[in-house]
Structure 1
Amino acid sequence: MTDFPACTCCAYDLRDDELGRLLCSRCEDRVGQQLAAIQGPRGLYAQLAHHLQRGSGSGGPAVSGSKNAPAPLRVDILSLQCAGGPILGPLETWVRDWETHRHAELNEGGTLQQRVDHACRTLRFNLSWAAGNHPAADAFADEVALIHRTLQGITAGEKPARKLYAQCPCGGTFPFTLATHGETCRHCGTEYGHGEIMRMQLAERRAAA
């Protein structure tokens, strides 16, 4: 049986005009759209500011009619906004990587929003090159999709994913959600992919606590 070249991201066979590429045109377009949705003054990253205060899930700034102290800020949102957090950190890591291939330029100046915008712009500008040449193009596409899904879930007011606990063969347990791409057992250091975790036995809540 003949194996046809496939997209490293979605695993669909490449069309004749896509042969030699790592990502198919559909996956390239999707990543480009996700990066575009993240950046900008009305983008998903900028919208995090409207969800900083607890109870502000309506999409606009939280307004209190009382004279009480304002509600505490959401730590999970603050962690997403920081320089080394799971949004800007990975984006700039990919920019640094592509810079070694002479297909991106890192800019760590300006505000966090400006840095996010720059990272998204330069990654979009060189996306066609990555789709055709970067050996980790599929990992890049997966990470952008995870960032986009995380931001979209928060700005749409979705409830956080339910946290479950997996039972590692070593006897330890580790937390995960159904949307996880992979986790590492803190007891033995073994790394598990999404499929492996989904097949693992769930730990009893008391044992995992």
Structure 2
Amino acid sequence: MNDLDTCLRCTRDLRDHELGRYLCSPCEDRTALHLGAIPGLFERLGDHLHRGSGGNGPAVSGSKSAPAPLRIGILDLQTERGPVLGPLETWVRDWEEAGYAEVNEAGAAIDRVTHACRTLRFNLSRAVAQHPAIDECADEVASIWRTLTRITTGETAPRKIAVTCPCQQTLRITLDTRGETCPRCGAEYGHSEVLRLPLAERRAAA
């Protein structure tokens, strides 16, 4: 049970019906949407595996030319221990120990990703109310969703913005940054707080 009156993820004050939960309702809903979308995005990775391939399918080489080279980063995303399936099944195992879920490590990667996402989504409300690390899980799920979305839709990564901590340390954030901790003074900022920090002054080129 959360003894605080704020959401662990976005630091928004919890409403009366949310008290005791670790995440607010909007953060829970957003995580559920991400879990629902990840299997489909993961399945579409194959369309972007070859260099030069677009959203309409893999590039097709002519009969007299060598096949297009594979994009190693995408190939890694599709592996059993890669940054998609690995973290998802790690959370399923964690929730299994707490009695929330059941892991299934059989079948093809897409089947395992689908099972993991369905399991986490089905047990999400219970975890939001009882699991003290649900904010970390939600962060990792959101990161996986963003990575897959950028690859399959061609979106670029969020632009970095330089802001200044009162101790004069420059912090580089994005508009969807959850929060930030200053490496110099240790000050902790939530999402809205870090966005209110003054922009860092641009230094003249030497």
Q: Structure 1, residues 40-89: CA drift from partner, whole Å, max 9, x if none?
A: xxx10001000000011334222234620111100000110000000000
Q: CA deviation at 1:157?
A: 1.4
Q: Aligned equivalents of 1:44 and 1:198: distance in 2?
A: 38
Distance 1:10 1:194, change over 3 A: closer
Kindly provide the amino acid, as one letter, of the partner of residue 98 in structure 2: H
Q: CA deviation at 1:162?
A: 9.1
Residues 59 and 68 in structure 2, CA contact (< 8 A), matched pair in contact too: no
Aligned residue in 1 for 2:33: 33
Q: Structure 1, residues 144-185: CA drift from partner, whole Å, max 9, x if none?
A: 00000000011011356899xxxxxxxxxxxx9969x8xxxx
Compute the RMSD of aligned alpha carbons.
Answer: 2.9
Q: Aligned equivalents of 1:84 and 1:198: distance in 2?
A: 34
Distance 1:9 1:89, change over 3 A: same
What SS class does the counterpart of residue 106 from structure 1 fall into? coil
Pairing 1:139–2:136 present: yes
Select the residue among 21, 39, 45 that pairs with 2:42: 45
Instruction: Give me the TM-score of the superposition, normalised by structure 1.
Output: 0.74
Instruction: Give me the TM-score of the superposition, normalised by structure 2.
Output: 0.75
Aligned residue in 2 for 1:96: 93
Aligned residue in 1 for 2:164: none
Select the residue among 152, 158, 172 that pairs with 1:155: 152
Residues 48 and 58 in structure 2, CA contact (< 8 A), matched pair in contact too: yes
Q: CA deviation at 1:6?
A: 0.7
Pairing 1:7–2:7 present: yes
Kindly provide the amino acid, as one letter, of the partner of residue 34 in structure 2: Q
| Identity percentage of aligned residues | 59
Q: Aligned equivalents of 1:18 and 1:161: distance in 2?
A: 31
Aligned residue in 2 for 1:18: 18
Kindly provide the amino acid, as one letter, of the partner of residue 96 in structure 1: R
Q: What is the number of equivalent residue pairs in this alignment?
A: 171
Residue segments in structure 2 that go unaligned for 5+ positions in a row:
161-171, 186-206
Pairing 1:86–2:83 present: yes
Q: Aligned equivalents of 2:53 and 2:141: distance in 1?
A: 26
Distance 1:12 1:160, change over 3 A: closer
Q: Aligned equivalents of 2:158 and 2:119: distance in 1?
A: 31
What SS class does the counterpart of residue 152 from structure 1 fall into? helix
Distance 1:197 1:114, change over 3 A: farther
Kindly provide the amino acid, as one letter, of the partner of residue 98 in structure 1: W
Residue segments in structure 1 that go unaligned for 5+ positions in a row:
164-175, 182-192, 200-209
